Amino acid sequence: MSEVRESGIVEKFDARRGFGFITREDDKPNIFVHYTNINGEGYKELKPDEKVT
């Protein structure tokens, strides 16, 4: 399966519940993001207003 990457700004992320939403830069509907979708080591969390790809 191919990996799809989207760009946007973190609208909100609830670290306790492990999910949040990203506002796309192209005005398409917001993206749901789960902590398992975050690449990296250690604790996985996103900060509001953080730019992500």
Rounded CA gap, 39 and 51, in Å? 14
pLDDT at 39 over 60: yes
- Residue 46 has what pLDDT? 94
CATH of domain 8-52: 2.40.50
Distances (CA, A) of 46 to 1, 12, 24, 27: 25, 8, 15, 20
Q: What is the CA radius of gyration of the chain?
A: 11
pLDDT at 6 over 90: no
- Residue 31 has what pLDDT? 95
Residue 19: both structure tokens together: 């999910």
Mean residue pLDDT across the chain: 90
